[in-house]
Amino acid sequence: MMELVSLSKTYQGRRVLNIPALTLLEGQTYALLGANGSGKSTLLRILAGVLVPDAGRMRLPEESGQVGYLPQRPYGFQRSVLKNVTMALSSSYPRPEEAALAALGRVGMENMARENGSRLSGGETQRMAFARMIVRPRKLLLLDEPTSATDIAGNDLVEAALLEYQRETGCTVLMATHSLAQAARLCRRMIFLHRGEIVAEGPIRQLLDAPEDPHLREFLAHWRI
């Protein structure tokens, strides 16, 4: 179980995140939804350790590498795609190239292993970065719109790879997405943020079918038009 208590973050006098309490159940997949600027990326970046909160406590996996974070615009390093993936493994990891090729295979990129990782398209970079994320077992995956730049085929590959990886490792997933369809396909639970606050949290089907919160209802109305 992972917990956040009294987490807050302020930017230039504006409170962008205020979460009194949140519990993430192990092995569960959460969709993180909300309008632009609602605090989704801020929450993920704080959980990943990229941003420091102004206040609050977090109980997350402590071992190095147990938390994986895929930013909205992942970086492709100036080295081969294969090396871009193996760099996520420690030097003592057994057969790193084999593991990297298997991870690349899951996102349909094994034939691009020798290409330069800094010269890929946006969608290819996202798929490579996703392979870098799943090349080793992790306890928590934090994904910030992991398929925002991929084409339909790439999207399907990443979604299938995520489901397979979660089945194998039993990791917890927290995924920000703007696609309700994707959220419904991949996630069992949903967290809805409005102006930095969690206004709805629970089973995704229940929240999508019978939303009680007015902000969530308004958000969903845009999708149903």
| 137 binding other proteins? (CB under 8 A) | no
CA dihedral 96, 44, 190, 131 (to 10 degrees): -20
Q: How many residues bind other proteins (CB under 8 A)?
A: 30
| 33 binding other proteins? (CB under 8 A) | no
| 45 binding other proteins? (CB under 8 A) | yes
| 196 binding other proteins? (CB under 8 A) | no
Structure tokens at 124: 């290819």
| 95 binding other proteins? (CB under 8 A) | no
Give one DSSP letter per residue of 120-146, joined into a string.
Answer: S-HHHHHHHHHHHHHSS--SEEEEEST
| 133 binding other proteins? (CB under 8 A) | yes
C-alpha distances in Å from residue 185, one per residue of 47, 56, 88, 128: 24, 32, 28, 22
Nearest CA among 5, 19, 13, 12 for reference residue 197: 19
Shortest reach from residue 50's CB to other proteins, in Å = 5
| 66 binding other proteins? (CB under 8 A) | yes
| 48 binding other proteins? (CB under 8 A) | yes
Residue type, 219: F
| Nearer residue to other proteins within complex by CB, 58 or 208 | 58
Residues lying near other proteins in the complex (CB under 8 A) are found at 45, 48-50, 64-71, 73-75, 77-80, 87-88, 114-118, 129, 132-133, 142
